[in-house]
Amino acid sequence: MTHAVQPAVIGATGYSGFELTRLLLAHPCLQKPALFRHKPEPGQPTDLADFYPQISGNGFGQLALEPFAWDALKAKGADILFLCTPHEVSREWAIEAVDRGYRVVDLSGAWRLKHAANRAVYKFEDRDATKAAVLDNEAVYGSPELHKDQIAGAELVANPGCYATSIILALAAWTKDELIDLDFGVICDSKSGVSGAGKQPTPATHFVEAADNLSAYNVFGHRHTGEMLEQLGLQASQLQFTPHLLPIPRGILSTIYVRPKSGVAVAALEGSMKAFFAGKPWVRVFGSRLPQIKYSLYTNYCDIGFQVSPDQSRAVIVSCLDNLVKGAAGQAIQNMNVMFGWDEREGLQ
């Protein structure tokens, strides 16, 4: 392109939307993002710094928040649209955005799933079922480590879920190389900071409930499970995913229990993982050193390490990332970089 790309963010006041805006403002290939609220209310502030004072006085000038309208989006000359909107809103608006010629990165779960049985957890009621079915087929799952070539030419990229990213990346190499005994099953025990639940408070995320506590939730019904099954090629009976709420603001740690196939050596496991992520700048393979949440906070890294039992019959993988960066806004930037042919690290270092 001959001009600096103009991004637009719908839903800039949420945690992911704000994190995305902060990153976009520092990206060298972009104009200042156009910011919209998908559901403005009378009397609310119209500058993002009123919601997040930490960005005031940084030379950005006014970061005006406008009520979203297609005419307003056109007036801004947007080249790419980031939807930081509720699932059902993204489900509707992405169709029109693609029809209008915009390239879209959707940070919701509206377009991540190819199988209707997995997508049923969202209970979507499409106004135009035919167009929705077409876009379900055309949308690309936005994991650059898995689908970089498809992302490059995509009109709609479905940004992965945060839990799903931590687990899919941790298991991708070994499932591809068929090193795991899937009959034994895969157990994923994941823990996330409270920001993963979004900005709107709930009884479970209230400070009194979350502080000094650790709780499991959605044990057999979490919406990210379908992403793991589809992207890893697993059956529901082969994977158990249990999410937990940590009393910290941000960060995810996933502990994954697998059984290597008989005769698979530790060197083969490590070689598989290192080969798979060679040239993929936002995954750090730690080997036998296990990651911690604090290593990846405020970065776009997914850190992966593993250890194997002395008899080599069991392996434990630990995967960590920042749920608001690699698990949301940072991965959205990474996807945009791929879509426009830029280095995946642009604006994220």
Question: Is 274 inside any structural domain?
Answer: yes
Q: Is there a single domain that holds both residue 181 and residue 99?
A: no
* pTM listed for this prediction: 0.94
Q: Which one, of 267, 281, 261, lies nearest residue 334 by Cα?
A: 281
Q: Which one, of 200, 276, 170, lies nearest residue 17 by Cα?
A: 200
Q: CATH number of the domain that 134 lies in?
A: 3.40.50.720
DSSP state letter for 237: G
Q: Which two tokens stand for residue 241?
A: 């995913």
Q: Which residue has the higher pLDDT, 80 or 54?
A: 80
- 6 CB-near residues (< 8 Å, 6+ apart): 30, 31, 33, 34, 76, 77, 78, 79, 80
Q: Is there a single domain that holds both residue 184 and residue 74?
A: no
Question: Is the separation of the CB atoms in 243 and 216 below 8 Å?
Answer: yes
Domain housing 141: 7-159+328-339
Q: Is there a single domain that holds both residue 33 and residue 76?
A: yes
Q: Is there a single domain that holds both residue 121 and residue 177?
A: no
Task: Write the pLDDT tens digit of every residue in 208-238.
Answer: 777 888 899 989 989 999 999 999 999 999 9
Cα dihedral value 257, 221, 118, 318, nearest 10:
-20
Rounded to whole angstroms, the Cα distance separating 17 from 32 reads: 14
Amino acid 1: pLDDT: 47
Rounded to whole angstroms, the Cα distance separating 60 from 56 reads: 8
Q: Which two tokens stand for residue 20?
A: 């995305």
- For the four alpha carbons of 219, 147, 92 and 323, in that order, the dihedral sign comes to positive
Q: Is there a single domain that holds both residue 42 and residue 121?
A: yes
Q: Is there a single domain that holds both residue 30 and residue 143?
A: yes
Give phi and psi for 305, each to the nearest 5: -140, 165
CA angle 243, 248, 251 (to 5 degrees): 60
> Minimum mean pLDDT among 7-21, 47-61, 168-182: which range?
47-61
Q: Is there a single domain that holds both residue 223 and residue 306?
A: yes
Q: Is there a single domain that holds both residue 167 and residue 152?
A: no
Q: CATH number of the domain that 272 lies in?
A: 3.30.360.10
pLDDT value at 95 more than 90: yes
Active site residues: 162
Please state the domain count of the chain.
Answer: 2
Question: Is 54 inside any structural domain?
Answer: yes
For residue 173, the number of C-alpha atoms closer than 13 Å in the C-beta half-sphere is 19
Task: Write the pLDDT tens digit of every residue in 26-53.
Answer: 999 999 999 998 877 777 888 898 889 8
Question: Is 67 inside any structural domain?
Answer: yes
Rounded to whole angstroms, the Cα distance separating 326 from 178 reads: 26
Q: Is there a single domain that holds both residue 111 and residue 48?
A: yes
Question: Is 295 inside any structural domain?
Answer: yes
Question: Is 107 inside any structural domain?
Answer: yes
pLDDT value at 287 more than 90: no
Question: Is 172 inside any structural domain?
Answer: yes
Residue type (1 letter), 331: Q
> Minimum mean pLDDT among 184-198, 206-220, 235-249: which range?
206-220
Residue type (1 letter), 103: R
What average pLDDT score do residues 80-91 get? Answer: 96
Q: Is there a single domain that holds both residue 294 and residue 189?
A: yes
Question: Is the separation of the CB atoms in 269 and 315 below 8 Å?
Answer: yes
Amino acid 2: pLDDT: 52
Q: What share of the chain is helix, strand, coil (3-state, %, to 5)?
A: 35, 20, 45
Q: Is there a single domain that holds both residue 183 and residue 223?
A: yes
Phi-psi region of 207 (alpha: psi -120 to 50; beta: other; left: phi over 0): alpha
Rounded to whole angstroms, the Cα distance separating 335 from 300 reads: 12
Question: Is 345 inside any structural domain?
Answer: no
Tracing tokens 């104009």 back to the chain, one arrives at 31
pLDDT value at 323 more than 80: yes
Q: Is there a single domain that holds both residue 205 and residue 144?
A: no
Quick one: how far is CA 286 from the chain centroid? 21
Q: Which one, of 288, 287, 263, 264, lies nearest residue 274 by Cα?
A: 287
140-141 and 186-192 beta bridge pairing? unpaired
Question: Is 1 inside any structural domain?
Answer: no
